[in-house]
Structure 1
Amino acid sequence: MAKVTPNASAIKVLVVDDEPQIVRTLRINLSARGYKVITAGTGAAALLASGKHPDVVILDLGLPDMDGIDVIVGLRRWTSVPVIVLSARTDAADKVKALDAGADDYVTKPFGMDELLARLRSAVRRGGGDASDPVVVTASFTVDLVAKKVTKKGETVRLTPTEWAMLDMLVRNSGKLVGRKELLREVWGPSHETASHYLRAYLAGLRRKLEDDPSHPRHLITESGMGYRFEE
Structure 2
Amino acid sequence: MASVSVQIVESNPHLRSLLGWHLQQVGYRVYQAASLYQAREVFQLRQPTLVILDAELSDGDGLEFCRWLLRQHQPYILMLSARNTEADVVAGLKAGADDYLTKPFGMQEFLARVEALIRRNRMNIPPAYLDYGDLKIDLVQRRVRFQEELIDLTPQEFSLLYVLAQAGGLPLSRSELLNRAWPDAIDNPRTIDTHVLSLRKKLETDPRQPSIIQTIRNVGYRFNPEFLNGYNAGLNNSHNNGAQEQQNQRITERGNLSQPTAASQALPITK
TM-score, length-scaled by structure 2: 0.44
Which position in structure 2 is the counterpart of 1:66? 60
Per-residue CA shift, 1:145-165, capped at 9, x if unaligned?
xxxxxxxxxxxxxxxxxxxxx
Partner residue of 2:5 out of 12, 16, 27? 12
State the 4+ residue runs in structure 1 displaced beyond 6 angstroms: none
Which range is displaced more, 38-47 or 61-70?
38-47
| Separation of aligned partners in 2, 1:116 and 1:99 | 17
Unpaired segments ≥5 residues, structure 2: 126-271
Match of 2:22 in 1: 29
Structure with the larger helix share: 2
Q: Please name the residue that 1:46 is paired with.
A: 39
- Counterpart residue number, 1:101: 95
* Separation in structure 1 between the aligned mates of residue 27 and residue 121 of structure 2, nearest angstrom: 18
Q: Secondary structure in 1 aligned to 2:60?
A: coil
Q: Is the 8 A contact 1:18 1:42 kept in 2?
A: yes
Structure 1 CA distance for aligned equivalents of residues 123 and 113 of structure 2:
15
Q: What is the Cα deviation at residue 79 of structure 1?
A: 2.3
Q: What is the match of residue 114 of structure 1? A: 108
Look at both structures and tell me which one has the larger radius of gyration over its CA atoms: 2
Residue 104 of structure 2 aligns with an amino acid whose one-letter code is P
Alpha-carbon spacing, 1:33–1:78, altered in 2? closer, same or farther (3 Å): same
SS at match of 1:14: strand
Contact preservation (8 Å) 1:47, 1:74: no
- Distance (whole Å) between structure 1 residues aligned to residue 58 and residue 78 of structure 2: 19
Structure 1 residue 130 displacement after superposition: 3.9
Q: Output the CA distance in 1 between the equivalents of 2:124 and 2:78.
A: 20
- Counterpart of 2:121 (choices 108, 119, 127) is 127
Q: Write the distance in 2 (CA, Å) between the matches of 1:94 and 1:126.
A: 24
Q: Secondary structure at the match of 1:44?
A: helix
Question: How big is the shift at 1:36?
Answer: 0.8
Percent pairwise identity: 38
TM-score, normalised to structure 1, is 0.52
After TM superposition, list the pairs within 5 Å mapping 1:150-161 onto structure 2.
none
Q: CA deviation at 1:38?
A: 0.3
Structure 1: stretches of 5+ with no match in the other structure: 1-6, 132-232
